[in-house]
Amino acid sequence: MKFFIDTANLEQIKEAQDLGILDGVTTNPSLMAKEGINGKEAILNHYKTICEIVDGDISAEVLSTTYEEMIKEGEELAAIHPNIVVKIPMIKDGVKALKYFSNKGIKTNCTLIFSAGQALLAAKAGATYVSPFLGRLDDISVDGMNLIEEIRIIFDNYMFDTEILAASIRSPMHIINCAKIGADVVTSPLASILNLLKHPLTDSGLAQFVADAKKMG
Ligand code: E4P
């Protein structure tokens, strides 16, 4: 399973990269705005910097919602670096844009996926990734993990190349359950990745080993 980090924060991206487990980065307009990135030039430069830090797929989301504008914007984003993946919302014009980029050999990530039908449509249009949002479904008392299972079954039935990129991760259990189901990728905040490290028996066991090591001189 690939690990992506879901942030536009350069420090957090560097920290995950230094850990040696990072395969890529996802961003969205809210995450970019949170970092105070403003204006077209700043946006393109920020993606360029991320591509210099991480050698893996970097999702850059279009800000427009019409087919023509998404094509124009997506082509500008894709021109930044070969690792840029154009992130397109799951709307009618978005499906057309996925097909356009797929025909051109430009990677895409279809975002805001909340149903198996949406994932199927994105895969038919040739999306490289689909991003089902687990946490946001859990937030409204719908089992997000169930959606990952449904998409896994559908994609396996027809051997779609489209990868399941589990998004809107809220906890290390989301990551573990995605791995059990067979999601191809999880994109997670740094905190949930680091929480995978934690176990009280590891901490107490290590404290004992360190204390005993001192006795050995
Ligand atoms: C997906 O690519 C999105 O950036 C992200 O995972 C959304 O997560 P949120 O629901 O925590 O905002």
Q: Ligand 1 mean position to 30 CA, how many Å?
A: 9
H or E element: which one contains 78? Answer: helix 67-78
Q: What is the pTM of this model?
A: 0.96
pLDDT score, position 78: 98
User: Are 44 and 8 spatial neighbours (Cβ–Cβ below 8 Å)?
Assistant: no
Predicted pLDDT of residue 69: 98
Write out pLDDT tens, residues 137-177: 999 999 999 999 999 999 999 999 999 999 999 999 999 99
Pocket test for ligand 1, best of 9, 28, 118 (most atoms within 8 A of CB): 28
Residues within 6 Å of ligand 1 by CB = 6, 26, 28, 111, 131, 133, 135-136, 167-168, 187
Instruction: Give distance in angstroms: CA of 104 to centre of ligand 1.
Output: 27
The C-alpha atoms of residue 156 and residue 47 are separated, in whole angstroms, by 33
**Neighbouring C-beta atoms of residue 46, cutoff 10 Å:** 19
**Which residues of the chain fall below pLDDT 70?**
none
Residue 97 sits at φ, ψ, to 5 deg, of -70, -35
Q: What separation in Å is there between the alpha carbon of 214 and the centre of ligand 1?
A: 46
The Cα–Cα gap between 6 and 170 comes to 11
Helix (H, G, I), strand (E, B) or coil at 167: strand
